[in-house]
Amino acid sequence: MSLRLKVCGMARPDNLRTVAALAPDFLGFIFYSKSRRFAGTNLQPADTAALPAGIQKVGVFVNEELEVMQARVQEFNLDLVQLHGAETPKTCAALQAVGIPVSKAFAVGERFDFSVLTPYVGHVTYFLFDTAGAQPGGNGTPFNWQLLEQYHLPVPYFLAGGLALEHAAELRNLCLPGLFALDLNSRFETEPGVKDAGQLQQLFHEIRTPGVATSIPS
């Protein structure tokens, strides 16, 4: 089965409609006011309500209050909450207990201690592995994906961190335990929160079409 595709950091209604037309599996909206891709300024609940059926809506939060996250889920009819801070297994369990699926993000540097994931098993639907950097996410650089060869937990995960069109062939052929989806963000932007639909369309085609030849613009 092809990798699922998530486009994160959507922040403009017109760009959202254009990217949604490409039929990603997930679209991500950042509800963290310090982010350059903060969705709370420009997007309204009507914008996410108009998305085609089949696209799952993901709300991204960083160390947010439980009540605030629950309110955003209801307001924007979110299908999944992505936690990008220091949230505990208890917080994840509390969200899932009220019917909100959770994706818990972890920053990966030159090394990664996989034992930190164990307490979250049973309390999250997905993990997400992003590159360690100055910001909680969207730093625009990849980490060494081969570190994930050591992953052997039953929770599927999203791969994030500087994924770009130039990585298309390598991503299409990745064979890593637990890999479920690719998370695309800053390397597909013309400015923070605005995605280049042409580049996304090319990557989507190359990931979703078996045997397609990768052609990267020079």
Residue type present at position 183: D
* pLDDT at 4 > cutoff 70: yes
Residues whose CB is less than 8 angstroms from the CB of residue 100 and which lie 6 or more positions away in sequence, other chains included: 69, 70, 73, 78, 80, 81
Average the pLDDT over each of 13-22, 148-157, 202-211 and give the range with the smallest value: 202-211
Average pLDDT over the chain, rounded to whole? 92
Residues whose CB is less than 8 angstroms from the CB of residue 28 and which lie 6 or more positions away in sequence, other chains included: 6, 7, 8, 9, 10, 58, 59, 60, 82, 183, 185
Q: What is the pLDDT of residue 107?
A: 94
Fold of 4-208: TIM Barrel (3.20.20)
For residue 192, give the nearest of 9, 7, 2, 29 by alpha carbon: 9
Q: What is the pLDDT of residue 151?
A: 97
Q: What is the pLDDT of residues 41-86, one digit of tens each?
A: 899 999 999 999 999 999 999 999 999 999 999 999 999 999 999 9
Q: Model confidence at 2, in pLDDT bands (50, 70, 90)?
A: confident
* pLDDT at 205 > cutoff 90: yes
Tokens of 134: 């100055």
As a whole number, mean pLDDT of residues 90-118 equals 96
Q: What is the pLDDT of residue 134?
A: 55
Q: Model confidence at 146, in pLDDT bands (50, 70, 90)?
A: very high
How far, CA to CA in Å, does 49 sit from each of 31, 45, 79, 195?
17, 6, 12, 20
Q: Model confidence at 210, in pLDDT bands (50, 70, 90)?
A: low
Q: What percent of the chain has pLDDT over 90?
A: 85
Q: What is the pLDDT of residue 136?
A: 54
Residue 169 CA, distance from chain mean position:
20
Q: What is the pLDDT of residues 185-201, one digit of tens each?
A: 999 999 999 999 999 99
Q: What is the pLDDT of residues 115-136, one digit of tens each?
A: 999 999 999 999 999 998 656 5
Q: What is the CA radius of gyration of the chain?
A: 16
pTM of the model as a whole: 0.92
